[in-house]
Amino acid sequence: MDTRELLDYLTKIESGLENFSYAELKSQDAAALKASFNAFKNGLESRVFGDVETVPRLNLNNSNKANQTNETDLHLVANVSHEIRTPLNSIMGFLDLLKDTGLDTRQLELVKAMDVASNSMFNLVNELLEFSKIATGHETYEQVSFKPKNVIDEVAFLCKTLINQKNEVKFSLNYDSGIPEILIGDPAKLSQVLLNLIGNAIKFVEKGSINLTVKLKEDRSKKVFLEFVVADTGIGIANDQLKHIFESYRQADQLNHKKYGGSGLGLSIIKAIIEQQMGCIAVSSQLGMGTTFNVILPYQKASLMAANIQTQETKQTSVSIAGANILVVEDDFLSRKLMESRLKQQGGHPYLAENKEECLYILKTEKIDLILMDMRLPDTTGVQLAKDIQIKVDGPQIPIILLSADIQACLEESYKDYGIVDFMLKPCKTEELLTKIDQYINNDKKESNNPELTLNNLENKPLVDLESLFNECLQKPDLLEELVTMLKNNVVEFIGKTKVHLIEENYSGIGFAAHKIKSSLKMVKANGLLNYVEQIQDFSNNTANLEGIKTQYACFIEAYKAVEVQIDKELARLLNGK
C-alpha cells in the first residue's frame, strides 16, 4: 500500500466520524477506540520518525500502582507550585516598586539581580505547574475562533522585544497568505508553543538569524493543517543528544546549561501540548550550524458567523489614547506586559491588575477612564467582576471592553447592563485595540489632556506656510507639488522609523530620524510639528527619556493629521491660482 492509499483510508475514517453516533458511545468503547487510535498513531510515528521508544510519553493511564504514585507526586508538584506562585508574584511586584524609590547605583544593581532571580524562579514554577497539569490530564484545550495572523504577529512582536538586547540577532517572519483568516482551536497554546521554541532560539543564538515560517500544509474540507517552522543559526545540538531533546529535565549540553540556565522542561511540555491537540513536532540540527523545529497542528475551519464578526471590526488607524488612564485586568503575565507596552507606546497610562482584588483597589484609588477586562480571571469571570464593580465602586460607570478568546462570550447582549460596552477577540491587533479604546474614552478628557491638539483648534491657526515655499519655487506648480509629496513621504518615513526604534529603545535611531525630518518641516514652516520633533531629538540625544519621546511622538502624529489637511487645502488653493 502506498502513501496515497493510506491517506485515502484516513480520509474515509475521518468522514465516517461525522456519521458516528456519539450519543450511544459507552465509556468502555470510548477507551477501546482511544487505545486503538493511540496504537495506530504510535506505530505510524515510530516508522516515520524512527525510534521514538526512547522518547517517553507523558503517561495519562493511571491503571497501575506505580502510575498512581506518579500521579500523587504530580498533584503535589502542582499544589506546591501554585502555592509558591502567589507570594512570588508579590515579591516581584514589590521589587518593581522598590526600583522607583530613588536607590543608589549599588542598591539598584542588587534589586536588579533579585529581579532576574525571581523571574527565573517564576518561570520554573510556571513550567512545573504546567508540566504536572499536562501529565495528570488536567490541561484543557480551548476550541474557539481566533485569527491566526494576529497570534503570529503578537508572537513576532514579543520576539522582537525579547531580541532587543541582542543587536546581532535578526528575526524574520514568513506568513502564508493562503491561511484562512479565522480558524478554530486554542490560540493561547499556539502562542505558548511558538514562544517557547523562539525563546530557546533567542537563548542559543549569539549572532545570526531566527526565522519563523507559517505555512498552510494541507487544506481539507473542514480543517486545515498549519506547519510552523522555527529555524535558527545558533549553537545547534549534537546528534547523540538530539533524540533525547524532548525528554523532561534534559539539557543537550551540561556546559551550555551552566551558561544558559533553564529547567529542561520546555520542550517536553510543548511536545505534550502539540500531541494532545493531535499535532506533531520534529527537530533537525547540526552542531555549530543551527536548529530547526517543525510543528504541524490541525485547526477547524471557522463558520460564517465568525467570519462576519471579523468584518465588523473597524480598520481606522488615526486615533489617540494619549493621556488616558486605562486599567488592564489580565492574569497572564506576558499578556499584561504586552498590553502595558502597547498602551505606553501610544501615550496612554496603563494600570495593571492581575485579579479582582487588585482591580477593585485600583478603581478605588485612581481615576480610571476605561477598563480592558479579560474574560477569564483566576478568581472570577470578567462579567462577574464587571457586576462587582457596579456595586462596589462609586462614581460614573467606567466603560469596560471585554477581551475574550471565545466568540460566543462576545455575543451576549445583557453584558451592556454591567458597563461592558464592547468586546474584542483575543489576541487583538494594536490598531484594532486603539481604535476601540479611542471610541470609548471621554472626549472631554482627551481634549483636556492635549488642549492644543484638537482638530478644531488647530484648523483655525496657520500650521504651515506653503505660500512662501511657492514663491521660493518661482511659483512653479510642478515643483511645489513635488516638494509637498516629498514632505509627506518624509513624514511617513519618520513616523514608521521612530515607531520601530521606540520598540527597540534605539535612541540614536530616533535622534537621527528626528534630525532628518527637521529640514522638511522647516521648509514649510510647520513650527508646531517642529517643536515636537526637537523635543524628541533632545530626549533621545541627551536624557534617553523614553516616556517623554513616546508622548511627543503621539502628539506629533495627532497634530500631523490637522497639518496634512491644511497642506492639502493650501496646495489646492495655490495650484488653482487663488
User: Using the 8-state DSSP alphabet, how is residue 542 labeled?
Assistant: I
In the complex, minimum distance from the CB of residue 115 to ligand ADP, in angstroms, rounded to a whole number: 19
In the complex, minimum distance from the CB of residue 232 to ligand ADP, in angstroms, rounded to a whole number: 5
Residue 259 or 461 having the CB closest to ligand ADP: 259
Neighbours of 163 (CB within 10 A): 19
The grid cell for 465 is 506656510
Residue 207 or 561 having the CB closest to ligand ADP: 207
Write out the residues near ligand ADP by the rule CB under 6 A.
200-201, 204, 232, 234-237, 245, 250-253, 256-257, 262-267, 291
Q: Which of 193, 237, 230 is nearest to 209 (CA)?
A: 230
Give the Å distances, CA to CA, from 286 to 109, 128, 248, 249, 417.
38, 29, 22, 22, 59
The grid cell for 288 is 555549530
What share of residues in the chain are helix, strand, coil (percent, to 5)? 60, 15, 25
Angle at 443 between CA 441 and CA 447, to 5 degrees: 120
In the complex, minimum distance from the CB of residue 211 to ligand ADP, in angstroms, rounded to a whole number: 12
Residue 148 or 266 having the CB closest to ligand ADP: 266
Residue 210 or 398 having the CB closest to ligand ADP: 210
In the complex, minimum distance from the CB of residue 264 to ligand ADP, in angstroms, rounded to a whole number: 4
The grid cell for 110 is 542588587
Q: Where are the alpha helices (DSSP H) in 429-476?
A: 430-440, 443-449, 455-459, 466-472
- CB-based contacts of 175, cutoff 8 Å, min separation 6: 149, 152, 213, 214
Strands (E), 388-536: 400-404, 420-425
Q: What's the rounded Cα separation, in Å, for the pair 74 and 76?
A: 5
Residue 70 or 251 having the CB closest to ligand ADP: 251
Q: What's the rounded Cα separation, in Å, for the pair 83 and 386?
A: 27
Neighbours of 409 (CB within 10 A): 19
Q: What's the rounded Cα separation, in Å, for the pair 93 and 52?
A: 43
Residue 169 or 306 having the CB closest to ligand ADP: 169
Q: What's the rounded Cα separation, in Å, for the pair 490 and 522?
A: 13
Q: Which of 427, 420, 430, 437 is nearest to 405 (CA)?
A: 427
Angle at 91 between CA 129 and CA 256, to 5 degrees: 60
Residue 85 or 301 having the CB closest to ligand ADP: 85
In the complex, minimum distance from the CB of residue 249 to ligand ADP, in angstroms, rounded to a whole number: 8
Residue 291 or 552 having the CB closest to ligand ADP: 291
No. of helices (H) and no. of strands (E), the chain: 22, 12
Q: Could you tell me which residues are beta bridge partners of residue 210?
A: 171, 232
In the complex, minimum distance from the CB of residue 293 to ligand ADP, in angstroms, rounded to a whole number: 7
Residue 127 or 369 having the CB closest to ligand ADP: 127
Do 197 and 295 touch, CB atoms closer than 8 A? yes
Neighbours of 379 (CB within 10 A): 11
In the complex, minimum distance from the CB of residue 470 to ligand ADP, in angstroms, rounded to a whole number: 59
In the complex, minimum distance from the CB of residue 205 to ligand ADP, in angstroms, rounded to a whole number: 8
In the complex, minimum distance from the CB of residue 90 to ligand ADP, in angstroms, rounded to a whole number: 25
Residue 62 or 119 having the CB closest to ligand ADP: 119
Residue 52 or 375 having the CB closest to ligand ADP: 52
Residue 200 or 520 having the CB closest to ligand ADP: 200
Neighbours of 355 (CB within 10 A): 17
Q: What's the rounded Cα separation, in Å, for the pair 284 and 50?
A: 13
Residue 22 or 249 having the CB closest to ligand ADP: 249
In the complex, minimum distance from the CB of residue 191 to ligand ADP, in angstroms, rounded to a whole number: 16
In the complex, minimum distance from the CB of residue 287 to ligand ADP, in angstroms, rounded to a whole number: 9
Q: Nearest residue to ligand ADP, using CB?
A: 262
In the complex, minimum distance from the CB of residue 94 to ligand ADP, in angstroms, rounded to a whole number: 26
Query: Alpha-carbon torsion 229, 234, 238, 243, what sign?
Result: negative
Q: Is 404 exposed, middle or buried (0-12, 13-18, 19+ CB in 10 A)?
A: buried
In the complex, minimum distance from the CB of residue 153 to ligand ADP, in angstroms, rounded to a whole number: 22
